[in-house]
Amino acid sequence: MVNPPVEPGGYFGQQALNSGEGDFNQIEFLVSQMLGRLNTCTLVRVEAVHGTGLSTMGTVDVTPLVNQVTGDGQAIPHTTIHGLPYFRIQGGLNAIICDPKAGDIGFCVFADRDISGVKNAQGPALPGSRRRFDYSDGLYFGGWNKSAPTNYVLVDDAGIQVQTPSGLVKITGGTMEFHGPATFFDAVEFKAAVTADSTITASGEIKSGTVKLTTHKHSGVTAGGANSGPPVP
């Protein structure tokens, strides 16, 4: 059994110098070659991503990062594996969507049967062929990038942090903090103290208890003889 050509017309075998010496070494080499066909799990780099966002099943093209090795120790890089489904957290119609990006590093596991029929039918199906533990039947689980994330959801013992390009939201000990602009498109009810270190702007009504900001009147004050002017910006 030989590797793909490294250069036109050139092949490198996987036999070591002692592979043919004696029955044991010969049998060991044959068994090793057979086991080498069984792909289980390996680290890969994402080369391209397909079907992102609200697609039913996204796929990635990946390249295994652990090189093949010839009998004399030369490295043979892998080629790209195309169209592997990638994992995301989904239950029913609920999901957390965080699509892979080209350059991410993650790991692939490889099914022990041909899963192409199941991928096409999205349900029970016969195996598409008799191949086993093949690179074509991989599933991608991400992953990490070489750089620290800039947008994230962090959950730890202190609470929850949601970092976005426009600011940070922190939820700790029953307190929610907005470090940056925040926009609410529906009614918002606060049942605890609200502290703001910047401007609060509302296009609708602001109400505290039963008191509305735009229409409330003060008690215990003698009314004047004229209406007040408009609010001063």
Are 129 and 160 members of one domain? no
Closest among 111, 14, 110 to 62, alpha carbons compared: 110
Are 100 and 158 members of one domain? no
pTM over 0.75: no
Are 110 and 140 members of one domain? yes
pLDDT lower than 70: segments of the chain: 1-13, 17, 193, 196-198, 220, 222-233
Task: Enter the tokens of residue 197.
Answer: 């270190």
- Domain end residue (candidates: 95, 111, 144): 144
- Domain end residue (candidates: 101, 119, 144): 144
Are 166 and 113 members of one domain? no
Are 78 and 160 members of one domain? no
Does residue 230 lie in a domain region?
Answer: no
Are 132 and 44 members of one domain? yes
- Domain end residue (candidates: 144, 173, 190): 144
Are 94 and 118 members of one domain? yes
Task: Enter the tokens of residue 63.
Answer: 């390249």
Strands (E), the chain: 41-50, 59-64, 68-69, 75-76, 81-85, 89-91, 94-96, 105-110, 138-144, 152-156, 159-164, 167-172, 175-179, 207-208, 211-212
Are 82 and 173 members of one domain? no
Are 44 and 136 members of one domain? yes
Q: pLDDT digit string (tens) for 127-184?
A: 999 999 999 999 999 878 888 889 999 999 989 999 988 888 888 887 888 887 777 7
Query: Is 61 in contact with 85 (CB distance < 8 Å)?
Result: no
Residue range(s) defining the domain that contains residue 172: 152-212
Does residue 20 lie in a domain region?
Answer: no
The CATH number of the domain holding residue 111 is 2.40.50.230
Instruction: Provide the number of structural domains found in the chain.
Output: 2
Are 131 and 67 members of one domain? yes
Query: Is 43 in contact with 107 (CB distance < 8 Å)?
Result: yes
% pLDDT > 90, the chain: 39
What is the reported pLDDT for 182?
Answer: 75
- What is the SS3 assignment for 125? coil
Does residue 121 lie in a domain region?
Answer: yes
